[in-house]
Structure 1
Amino acid sequence: MKISLATHEQSCRFQIQVASCLQVSQAECPIMRFSIPGDVLRHAREQAGVKQSALAKTLDTNGTFVSRLEKGGAVDPTFAVRYLQALASPVAEEVLEFYGRSWVKLDPPSFLHPDREHLWRVEETLQTLEAFEQSPQNHPILAPTITALRDDLSFVLRYLERLDHVIAWVGDIGVGKTTALAHAARLVSPDAKGQLRSVFPVGSGRITVCETVIKTAPAFGVAVEPLAEDAIRDLVQDLVQGVAGGQSAVPAEIARVLRNLSGFRAPKVMVGDDFETQDSIAIALAGGEEPATLTDKIIAAMDLPSRRETSLALSEDSEDGLQWLSRTIAKINSGQDPRFSVPRRITVLVPSDSLKAAGDLSIVDTKGVETITQRPDLRGYIDDVRTLVVLCTKFPDAPNATVQRVLRENEEAGSDAAERQRVAMLVLPRGDEPLQVSNEGEPAESRAVGCAVRRDEIRQALSGAGLPKINVSFYDAHLDRPEVVWASLRDQISLMRGVYVGRLDRSVRAVNEMVANVDLVKTRGARKSIENAFDRLIERVQVLPNVRRPAHQNLIDQLTASHQSSVAASMARRGDWQNFSVLHILGVGVRQDANLRSSDHFGRIEHALEDAEQEYADLPDVRAVISSLRDRLAKWRQDFLTQTLSIGSDAFKLTLQNQPGLWTESTGRYGTGVPGYKKDLAVIWQDFFQTAAPDDARAAVEARLAEAWLSTIVEPLRAATRAVAED
């Protein structure tokens, strides 16, 4: 990297200025242990209403120096104190007080961190624990309590100190989530008529070819993760076979990319008074071309070796930034950019003020849902504790079938996503739809009233269906300000973080109560009693009950509910298809069954914890252990259920790989022209699972479930309750 002489001289002058300012400040300012970030100083100055030039004069320097200081990283503590004292404002005093605290266990977070006071509570409580541990009040019998409380505080700390979150927008194909997301992020540009349009390709459905991620960056850019060449070949084979059989097994948006990449298009041409499709693939097949040979020719025509580009960037100073982004994404999404292959994921980098104001967020526009919601990508987002899943639905049919299916499947799988505020609903009204809502027999007098009435109806629908209550918000991309939706999503993320603040509250209270009131004599007896009670309980719950719902039943249900093109594509790949992953669906079936089988055991454990908490309500240290154990049990349960999904997917993999006849029969049934494809396929698979062929897989599932139950639930529970009784 080359550095000009002028740049080097400027750097030297800046360092001299810093040194000079420090020499002046050493004698004038109190000692500060911690450096302070430049953006915190800038925040304090702006809140004080002081211009850089005025502050520079007070500091006996110049505005350029102050500007560079505020844009840089950590500022020397001594000079930072002088800077803040020169402002002489309430906010500056708050900053000084915050960094001047006795941070011993942690490094102080940024003053701009929204949870800085909660992180200070963690620091204070850790200090309290350490002081108590070293005091005469402490006793070896309290060691497990102290360890549990310290672990709880560390767990909360790890979550709250990070500010990054993912917001995953999920919805049916054509529901309008991509348009809403583009307008919310102000990723829109004027079209030929001057109307603002999304920079992402949008339409009535089947436009977006893959998942899109939006991140803030200093400049506009696009990064593409391409599909593997083997996966592309499989898609081309499906395309050719679908044309040959008269039934497409490739989604329209993917077929469009493949055709554009290869030049084997299907244009519409005028024939007489009407248009006809002249499919170059169909013409080649009709001319006697073998499907395998034609597949090779299409792959060769794509020239994949030359399509190795994975990223492009444009300076944020470009006046054409959004238009460039729109053109670039459109070409990549449709397969018309010769530099890029078939995209698996597109990441869009934007210098967006809207996103910056919303926080350190990554926004994911997931691939549109097509009947099936049991997809590995969606499951990953739902289970991620830092991700908010936004279920998008149209106004008239909210909560639509997909929203209800996601919520119900989460319940059946034992997910805590709704309980921990990680799922919300975003209703997308259009035009005057809210005004058409009936409010006590009359049309709603305003959009706000219409939305309020609709929200009540949605909540009643969810309650009537036995589904969890989730927050519902509304956003019309063409009428509402983006701040409306971001405020709602920020509030939801605050609720997600609030779950961990609640755990912090319990830990802080437990520490304070333990320090203030320790009765060692009663504690010994209580802990021995708890150990004995849980030893008896563990004997009752250490073995899982028998199967309640066979894993393959979930597969049969999904076969009948899914789109036949997705099912056919999966069968052609021996179950390995993103929109219908047979192994993932079987894994979900194992998880659903494991949730049913373990629910009574968890109920017994939780009941025992409640009884112990009530019985020993007068012993703060014992209550602290029980409260901590309840929180840990909730996490152990999610860990166990997450493992069960993987167990199911892995266990059936080898069995299904060794069933060529099953796949051949399943594949051959498609495209025969005989109706009832999915029903027949369900019968084929039901018959297979009633044979002895899957017995090894079922035995492997049972063995691994038993092992997972012992390692994630029984053994940790035994260790936690036994440890508290040791002296």
Structure 2
Amino acid sequence: MREQAGPLLAEIDRYLKAPLNQDVAARLFENKCGIVKLLSTIDQKHFSAAFIGKIGAGKTSAICKVSDLQYEDSNNEPVEVLKTGAGRTTVCEVAVEYATKYSIKVEPLPEDEVQRVVRNFADFIWAKANKNVADEDEGGNLLSEELTRCIRNMLGLTIEKKKEDGKWRSSDKALEFSMGCQSVAEVNELMFSCLDLESRTETEFWPNLEESKSWQVWLRDNFARINDGKNKVVSIPSRIIIRGPFPLMRGDIVWSIVDTRGIDSYIHREDIRKTLDTEGVFPIICSSFVDAPDADCRSFYELGIQLGLGRRVARDVTLLILDKNESDKVSDIDCDITDLNDRKGIGRSIREEQVVNKISHEYKISPNIITFDSKNDSSSEIWDVLEERRSAYITSKLNELVTLLAASQELLSAEDSKVEAFERDSHTLVSDWRSRADARSPDWAHFGEYIKNVFSATHHRTLAASIDRKGSWYNLNVYEAINQRARSSAVKFCGTEIAELKNSLALLRSKYPEFSNQIDALESKCVTQFDAFSVNVGEIAKEQWIEQVRTFVSIWHSMAAEWGCGAGYKSRVIEHWVVWTESDLSKAIHNALLRRIASAWGRVLAKVQG
């Protein structure tokens, strides 16, 4: 394609040096920029696959199979390098990358978040020692199981089981530790001191020559120690990167694999939104076989549509149904079929058809589906699907490139009078639309109402952890929720404008069929600008809430004070939130946000006009 593009780019440059028409020159310059960008995208050699799914769905096992991070132990039992238990095992996101040598890199949590984790744990232990509170109780542990395990191991305050009088009894070292303290503040201070962060500064590890001979064992042991908080020179990780000469080079393409944090009933996370936003990253949404498509899987498709990414989801996303020896047990299989492989094949076909029908009906997207058994199926099945998705992505970019090349040729080849008439009518069309759109601006209900619903649907422990951090918790980030809500509202708002503009461009296309590719390019440009506006609205809303709401300390303190006050925690929190949402200050913050969004809309109109 570069061979075709090269001469045309040179012709565009010659025209731009001595333009006969400034409007044509402007369009050719835009086309040139688009062509150069698309050529770079088409030549891209590095891609990622991000595995997303609920806790315990089996995505880590699939990743180990795809990355060849499996081996047999001395008893010939299969071992997965990244798997240290059944669900709720990885404390953070894990990436697998290609390198010539094996290593593990750790990106640690910021110190202020480590302090908060320690404080949350200290609060729980103090409450447990003095109020007989369990982990899941209101007033109990705010931390996830994997984070609790990590911090306990780092502090050496684990729960030990001992057999006494023929019965197993648990002994909590953290409880024993707290008994010598006079206050929760003292527990917190001593725990943080014991953590000794000054000595936990190592971030990268390599095997020695002898360890390299059994690199799988070295990777598994060291990954487990880092993930579980048992490495004395490593802080709590926020991301772990496994590097080595894994089978991630497919021809001249280099892949990386990402194991995202398991979805814990809440899909609206920043890392998942960024995965959807980043082209060249191919999401693999995982669902267990029995309930495919599970609730988190459906929520993922819904999120993609809400964010205005329906086309990307349809093109780039793979729905991975993880079969844990279940497909032969589908009830609709004829009982006369006894061959196990036949039953599995039929069972998979039945389940895949059910999933396609459900996703297609609910989200108007035909999903790309593969059913996979991590124990028995070949990793090539997933690699083949990833290559199909990458090929579809590149093909879509090639189609865009062909349109821009043809559009540029149309402008360069047409008679001057015809081009002038086309440009005049194009400007008139856009001006007419702009005058109508200028009278419309976003006027949306207070986003606090949406957050109230989010609070209501969130597990009380996750809600308390978020409130404790003034709304900034990875599994419930209020400001990310606002970003996605505002962006979704903008997507709906722009949908009406796009439909109107497309109708007008259809009339222009019938009048000037010789400029059909340029009209397609103009339509694509407008849609891209609207998409960028929607993304910008999300960022504006998030920024406004961080500046104005996160710093409004009293509302967060009043809600945080409800933790540990008995049953009805969520109801009390929501009461505080509703009162604040209905306050004059809260309404003023929302109205100021709408004014900022209206200004951004005005800039979009001016840009489209230009």
TM-score by length of 2: 0.91
* Counterpart contact for 1:201–1:333, Cα < 8 Å: no
Q: Distance in 2 between matches of 1:128 and 1:388?
A: 36
The amino acid of 2:6's aligned partner reads E
Q: Distance in 1 between matches of 2:365 and 2:7?
A: 37
| Structure 2 counterparts to residues 565-714 of structure 1, below 5 A | 565-617=461-513, 619-620=514-515, 623-674=516-567, 676-711=568-603, 713-714=604-605
| Deviation of 1:511 (Å) | 3.7
Q: Distance in 2 between matches of 1:413 and 1:441?
A: 45
Distance 1:451 1:418, change over 3 A: farther
| Deviation of 1:549 (Å) | 4.4
The amino acid of 1:423's aligned partner reads V
| Structure 2 counterparts to residues 250-399 of structure 1, below 5 A | 250-286=143-179, 289-314=182-207, 318-356=212-250, 359-399=253-293
The amino acid of 2:73's aligned partner reads D
The amino acid of 1:703's aligned partner reads R
The amino acid of 1:276's aligned partner reads R
| Deviation of 1:462 (Å) | 1.0
Q: Distance in 1 between matches of 2:307 and 2:336?
A: 42
| Deviation of 1:581 (Å) | 0.9
Secondary structure of the residue that 2:54 maps to in structure 1?
A: coil
Distance 1:223 1:658, change over 3 A: closer
Q: Distance in 2 between matches of 1:121 and 1:522?
A: 25
**Counterpart of 2:4?**
121
Comparing 537-546 with 452-461, greater Cα deviation is found at: 537-546
* Counterpart contact for 1:148–1:628, Cα < 8 Å: no
Secondary structure of the residue that 2:487 maps to in structure 1?
A: helix
The amino acid of 2:525's aligned partner reads R
**Counterpart of 2:609?**
718
The amino acid of 1:235's aligned partner reads V
**Counterpart of 1:462?**
359
| Deviation of 1:284 (Å) | 3.8
**Counterpart of 2:383?**
486
Comparing 299-308 with 434-443, greater Cα deviation is found at: 434-443
The amino acid of 1:534's aligned partner reads V
| Deviation of 1:286 (Å) | 4.7
Q: Distance in 1 between matches of 2:16 and 2:472?
A: 55
Q: Distance in 2 between matches of 1:540 and 1:354?
A: 52
The amino acid of 1:475's aligned partner reads F
Secondary structure of the residue that 1:360 maps to in structure 2?
A: strand
**Counterpart of 1:241?**
123
2:299 to 405, 408, 419: 405
Distance 1:337 1:356, change over 3 A: farther
| Deviation of 1:323 (Å) | 0.9
The amino acid of 1:505's aligned partner reads V
The amino acid of 2:122's aligned partner reads V
The amino acid of 2:222's aligned partner reads T
* Counterpart contact for 2:360–2:367, Cα < 8 Å: no
Distance 1:433 1:203, change over 3 A: farther
Q: Distance in 1 between matches of 2:559 and 2:167?
A: 38
- Per-residue CA deviation, residues 412-468 of structure 1 (Å, 9 max, x unaligned), is 232346356232211111124245352578768343332222211101111232352
* Counterpart contact for 1:437–1:453, Cα < 8 Å: no
Distance 1:709 1:135, change over 3 A: closer
**Counterpart of 2:41?**
159
The amino acid of 1:537's aligned partner reads W
**Counterpart of 1:51?**
none
Q: Distance in 2 between matches of 1:624 and 1:356?
A: 35
**Counterpart of 1:227?**
109
Distance 1:658 1:324, change over 3 A: closer
Q: Distance in 2 between matches of 1:420 and 1:451?
A: 21
**Counterpart of 1:537?**
433
* Counterpart contact for 1:429–1:475, Cα < 8 Å: yes
* Counterpart contact for 1:168–1:365, Cα < 8 Å: yes
**Counterpart of 1:448?**
345
The amino acid of 1:431's aligned partner reads N
The amino acid of 1:394's aligned partner reads S
- Per-residue CA deviation, residues 542-571 of structure 1 (Å, 9 max, x unaligned), is 254343443223322222222222211111
| Deviation of 1:355 (Å) | 4.5
Distance 1:140 1:658, change over 3 A: closer
Q: Distance in 2 between matches of 1:651 and 1:553?
A: 16
Secondary structure of the residue that 2:48 maps to in structure 1?
A: strand
- Per-residue CA deviation, residues 55-78 of structure 1 (Å, 9 max, x unaligned), is xxxxxxxxxxxxxxxxxxxxxxxx
- Per-residue CA deviation, residues 26-71 of structure 1 (Å, 9 max, x unaligned), is xxxxxxxxxxxxxxxxxxxxxxxxxxxxxxxxxxxxxxxxxxxxxx
TM-score by length of 1: 0.77
Which ranges of structure 2 fall in alignment gaps of 5 or more residues? 128-132, 134-139
| Deviation of 1:478 (Å) | 0.5
Distance 1:465 1:141, change over 3 A: closer
**Counterpart of 2:51?**
169
| Deviation of 1:165 (Å) | 1.5
- Per-residue CA deviation, residues 252-285 of structure 1 (Å, 9 max, x unaligned), is 1001111111112122222434333222222344
1:551 to 432, 436, 447: 447
* Counterpart contact for 2:97–2:248, Cα < 8 Å: no
Distance 1:170 1:358, change over 3 A: farther
* Counterpart contact for 1:257–1:342, Cα < 8 Å: yes
| Deviation of 1:357 (Å) | 5.1
The amino acid of 1:685's aligned partner reads W
The amino acid of 2:163's aligned partner reads M
Secondary structure of the residue that 2:256 maps to in structure 1?
A: strand
**Counterpart of 2:137?**
none
Secondary structure of the residue that 2:40 maps to in structure 1?
A: helix
1:182 to 64, 67, 72: 64
Distance 1:592 1:173, change over 3 A: same
Secondary structure of the residue that 2:472 maps to in structure 1?
A: coil
| Deviation of 1:154 (Å) | 1.5
| Deviation of 1:158 (Å) | 2.5
Secondary structure of the residue that 2:360 maps to in structure 1?
A: helix
1:208 to 90, 107, 110: 90
Q: CA RMSD in A?
A: 2.4
Distance 1:358 1:681, change over 3 A: farther
Greater relative contact order, per chain length (Cα 8 Å cut-off, separation 6+): 2
* Counterpart contact for 1:148–1:625, Cα < 8 Å: no
| Deviation of 1:191 (Å) | 2.7
* Counterpart contact for 2:47–2:256, Cα < 8 Å: yes
| Deviation of 1:287 (Å) | 5.1
| Deviation of 1:169 (Å) | 0.8
The amino acid of 2:608's aligned partner reads L
Q: Distance in 2 between matches of 1:448 and 1:134?
A: 63
* Counterpart contact for 2:431–2:609, Cα < 8 Å: yes
- Per-residue CA deviation, residues 200-224 of structure 1 (Å, 9 max, x unaligned), is 1342211100000110000110000
Distance 1:558 1:418, change over 3 A: farther
